[in-house]
Structure 1
Amino acid sequence: AMALELFHTGKKPVVITGAQRSFDHLESDGPQNLADAISYAANGAPGVSIRFGGLTIPARGAFKAHTSALEAFQATSQKIRTRPTLPLTPLAGQDIVIISAWPGAPRLLVDAAVASGVNGIIVEGLGSGNMGSEMGEGVKDALDAGIPVLITTRVPEGSVTLAYGGDGGGATLAQAGALGTGTLRAGQARMVLLAALATGTDVASLL
């Protein structure tokens, strides 16, 4: 959904749906989700959205909020602003990894990603976009090596502000060149970086 949102320029709705229960389940949600998606595609607002469990969720900011509930998806609140229109471009060939931070996390995974030749790194940080000092040092070295790093959070709601100092603090890493993802979580941040690299677009303009 996020990939479509980044490239969609038409004035018609594009709707993504699916199911939480299998097609042969006695109370499968697939048929109703599909019917709802068709109805919204015929009558809904332009843009890309997810239609699931009776809810219409905008693609930008969407995340899966529950493993099994029929109302599976939610979206973080988004500020409306103009973003560049991207030319249709294949996204294959870019290697973007997602690395989770935890209290006391070492730099091992960041160093391994750099050594493997990744094109970009998404760090799923703590709180408003922070990590331990050792991992932060690894991120700074990755930035020095020319690898773009976006910092998001594992917290479901709220914006990544990169406000704290210290070696693993978001503000320190922002000064080194890392970018906060605002209200986009890891999966969508990865799609943004993929699209930016594939099209030669400044990633900050897509966040």
Structure 2
Amino acid sequence: MTQRRDLQALIDAAPVGKMQWRVIICCFLVVMLDGFDTAAIGFIAPDTRTHWQLSASELTPLFGAGLLGLTAGALLCGPLADRFGRKRVIELCVALFGALSLLSAFSPGIETLVLLRFLTGLGLGGAMPNTITMTSEYLPARRRGALVTMMFCDFTLGSAMGSYGVDLNCGWTKFMKDQLSTIASSNNLN
């Protein structure tokens, strides 16, 4: 515990360096992608409903599954990050939600899509709290509050960006596939 306090004192005394900014920017990108992917299902729902000729009530499990996955991912991945390290868990979560978002575009039916959105939610739910925690651990106390608040705003920014990325003339599967290239690009930053 003394070693942890000494490290925090060192971080608090020094200016924010390049490595810290790199970590913060990567975490910002992950949170933005998290927001984008979380909101994406709402943007593609009308096209999905038409594509599979579903009633509005048949779409309900689709929305609930992702949120359940988010909750489970947040509860499971915090302790995993404490044990195996935040960076590893964040990378795993981003890979998980990236790959499963792509697979969602190839869903043959609503049941498969519901399952994939739950599993995607596990990655999304694990990414958010760990990136916020990692950001706060890398920041001096004097900058922590403002930048952690910005991280939460970044989630909303990512959610809003999804509305500008949807072109329903291209279809929901293209929208989901396009997410992968964005997510894959963010993985190359590490």
Instruction: Name the TM-score class by shorter chain.
Output: under 0.3
Higher RCO structure (Cα 8 Å, ≥6 apart): 2
Larger relative strand fraction: 1
Larger relative helix fraction: 2
Tell me the TM-score normalized by structure 2: 0.26
Tell me the TM-score normalized by structure 1: 0.24
